Structure formats: C-alpha cells, structure tokens
Structure 1
Amino acid sequence: MIIIQEVSKQFKDRKTYVTALKHISFDVKKGEVVGLLGENGAGKTTLLRSIATLITPSSGSISVDGYDSIKQASEVKKRIGVLFGGETGLYDRLTAKENLEYFAVLYGMSRHEKKVRIEELAVMFGMKDYLNRKVGAFSKGMRQKVAISRALIHNPGIILFDEPTTGLDITSSNIFRQLIHELKAKGKTIIFSSHIMEEVQMLCDSVVMVHKGEVVYKGDLEGLYHEEASRDLNYIFMSKLVRGKSHVS
C-alpha cells in the first residue's frame, strides 16, 4: 500500500520558486498496477522520486508499506525497486553480471540468492549472451534490460518505473509487458509512467493523470471509460489536460 497525502514540492530557481507538485493525494493498493500519465514537465518523475525517497516533499506525507518516506527512508528503500528514465544507475567499467552482483550485495543478498536471481533475470530478458561483457559498450536497449534487472534484483514488493520501455525493441518491450503481468500475479505493487497509451491500457488496473503538478484523474480504467463515454485513452488524456482538475476518485 502506498498512501500519498497532500504532497507538494517546490524547487528554487535562482530567486524564484517553481512548484512541481500541488497537494497531490491518492492511494495505491497492494497488488495494483497504476499508470502515471502526464505531459513532459507535469511532475511525474518528481512524484516517483518522492515516493522512492530520493526527493523530500516540501509538504505532505508519503507512506510506503506502512513506513514514512522521510522518517523511515531506509526501510522504504529496502522494499522498492526503481528505474528512472535514462538513468540506468549502471557502472560502465563493470560487466552486466558484475553490476547486478554489486547491487545484490547492497541489498544484503546471500551468494546463493544472488546467483539464482541473476540467472533468472538473464534468462527472462535474454541477456545470457552478453552477461559477461562490460556495460559501457552496450546499446541503449541492452543497457535498459540490465537496468530493469537491477531494479528487480532484490525481488521488491513495490516497483516504480519511469518510462521503462524506452529504448527497447518490440521483442524486449513485449517481454517487459509479460513481466508486469507476472509481477502482478505475484502480488507486486507497480507504478509506471508511460507515453504509450496502448501499454497503459494493456497493463494497468487504474491510472493517475497529472497536469501542471496536480492530479486531474485517479481511478480505474473502466470507470474512466464510462465517465468519458469513450475507450480512446489518447483522446481522454488530451481532453482531461484541456479541462484540468475535474474529478479525482
């Protein structure tokens, strides 16, 4: 369970303050897959970073699995896996396997756990052929698969993905989508941002739409389709942005 209550965030830009998030509130249930939608600069990444304890909100609170994201950040970090856009968090001079081993050690995994988990992820993402090659020479898609594996190495209960299929080819994107289904079946809680509406419709139970730092819709997809009398998520999304904050369930 993730509980976000009245979260706001301001950044100082020279002598002025820029508001990235404005009194955002919503809950994510255990085992729910939530799509985070919004145009560039809407506040999606700031919100995900706040949940992941990488940014401290200016006001409001975030609870992750019962732990306060500010007061108990170390406990929150143990329970989440994160991947933010192009920031893979990988070390170019290490091989894919060495990168995964390094992060496994950080999470306190045993040698056996580490070995089994890396083998599972290598098979899942088709990385066995280049597992022992240095990441610095990898293509964007190869790096992205290793980065997703890094986020999942400790088998977290809560997973945050920011544009997770960026740079992936069709086959790898389909593997990732199948992974989301499998993670959901295991009771994982997932929030991911995406500009690919078909991906959101295929994978998500509900959506959170953010516009200029505010939530303009939070609810299940079927309820949204009924409310808008349409199943065209692209159209609904653009319409919501034009109308602004009208309904948050």
Structure 2
Amino acid sequence: MIQLSDVSIQFEEPILTNVSVTFQEGKIYGLVGANGSGKSSVLRAIARLIKYEGKIEVGGSNVTQAQSGFQKVMYFEHSEWFDYNLTAMDYLKLYSKLWKSEVELKEVVSYWGMEDYVNRKIGKYSLGMRQKLLLSLYALSTSRYLIMDEPTNGLDKDAVILFKQWLEKEKVSGKLIVFTSHYHDTIFELCDAVYEIENHQLNLVDQ
C-alpha cells in the first residue's frame, strides 16, 4: 500500500494541497494532468526525492523517516538519467545486483529485443532504445511498488504492446503500479483507477 495523508507539495506555485489518497497492491493507477500540473512531482515525493508536507507511507513505513520504506519503491524517472558512457548491460548487471533479482538477464534482453545493442554505449541509443532499457530495469526489480513517469515515451506500437503485457503480469503478481502519462494514452485502459491533478487536488476521474 502507498498512502498519502494530507500531503502538500509547493515550489513557486502549489502542486498539491492537503491531498489524501490510498493506492492498493495488486492494482494499477494512472495520473493525468496538464503540462506543469505536477504529475512527476507526485512520484518524486513518493520516492523521497523532493520535500513535501504531510505523510507518505509505503508498505506501512513513513518514507520521510524509514529508509526501509524508501527502499521498497522502484523509480527511474526518465532515460536522461542514464550515463551515456555505460551500456545497457552495465545497468542490467547493476540493478540485478542491487535488487538481488532472480530474473535472468537474457530473458529481459530478449523480451525487450535489446540483443543488437545491449553492449553498445547508451549515448548511441535512440529514445526508444533507452526507454526499453529503462523498463527492463523495472522488470529486474524485486520491488512490489513500481512508480513510472510516462513509461511509453518513445516506444513504437509493438513495444507498447509488450509493455502492456508486462504490466498486466506484474499486476497479477500483486504489485502496485502508479504511472503518469498524457491524456488519451491507451495504457490507461489497464488502470483500476485514474486520477487527474487539477486545482492542486488528485481527483478520481475513472474507476
């Protein structure tokens, strides 16, 4: 469970004001909103990357106080975080070790079709290639809490289908998934609930 209790986020302008919402395990949640509404900020707060007021609990631990709660969350915001001098295999090996994953690296590479470039430096990748690598890191994670910022960014139609199939499998395994995306993205069809950030609140728009 991820629970926000009276959470407020503010930079130059308010993002959220006294928001309370609970996300349950074994479900998929989508967040939408206009550009600049603060979708990414909500995920960053859950991942303890920005300051906020109120309380956020992950699996029963307050992420502002307990490192164990923070470690339960898998979050890799976007492909610009990658070191372009490293390869996809460098990241796969690192995340496999960090998460003590039992998933075979070959399986992940094959699923996302990365065989031709997995040992090439990331600086030579297209956006779609980098996004597949990003998603493969989620596949290696043993976390039960996956938070994802625009996960279909740069993916072609076939890769989106692969992502949807993987997402459904993760849900069946009992994982809690929260992602942001733009309006009308077809992956919202998989959501158990969709929230819109509007007027500094998380408003339930579809369930």
TM-score by length of 1: 0.77
Q: CA deviation at 1:88?
A: 4.4
Q: Is the helix fraction higher in 1 or 2?
A: 1
| Alpha-carbon spacing, 1:88–1:100, altered in 2? closer, same or farther (3 Å) | farther
State the secondary structure of the residue aligned to 2:64.
coil
Tell me which amino acid in the other structure corresponds to 2:91.
Answer: N
Residue in 1 that maps onto 2:68:
75
Taking only the aligned residue pairs, the percentage that are identical comes to: 34
Residue in 1 that maps onto 2:58:
64
Count of aligned pairs between the two proteins: 207
In the aligned structure 1, how far is the partner of 2:61 from the partner of 2:206?
25
Q: CA deviation at 1:200?
A: 4.2
Q: CA deviation at 1:133?
A: 1.3
Residue in 1 that maps onto 2:50:
55
CA-based RMSD: 1.8
Q: Does 1:30 align with 2:25?
A: yes
Task: Write out aligned runs for 1:91-110 (5 A).
Answer: 91-107=83-99, 109=100
In the aligned structure 1, how far is the partner of 2:128 from the partner of 2:188?
23
Conserved 8 A contact 1:56-1:70 = no
State the secondary structure of the residue aligned to 2:96.
helix
Residue in 1 that maps onto 2:150:
163
In the aligned structure 2, how far is the partner of 1:95 from the partner of 1:156?
23
| Alpha-carbon spacing, 1:200–1:94, altered in 2? closer, same or farther (3 Å) | closer
Conserved 8 A contact 1:2-1:28 = yes
TM-score by length of 2: 0.92
| Alpha-carbon spacing, 1:26–1:141, altered in 2? closer, same or farther (3 Å) | same
Residue in 2 that maps onto 1:4:
4
Conserved 8 A contact 2:196-2:205 = no
Q: CA deviation at 1:49?
A: 0.5
Conserved 8 A contact 1:52-1:82 = yes
In the aligned structure 2, how far is the partner of 1:24 from the partner of 1:202?
25
In the aligned structure 1, how far is the partner of 2:149 from the partner of 2:7?
19
| Alpha-carbon spacing, 1:26–1:8, altered in 2? closer, same or farther (3 Å) | same
In the aligned structure 2, how far is the partner of 1:136 from the partner of 1:19?
36
State the secondary structure of the residue aligned to 2:17.
strand
Residue in 1 that maps onto 2:115:
128
Asked which structure has the greater RCO (Cα within 8 Å, sep 6+), the reply is 2
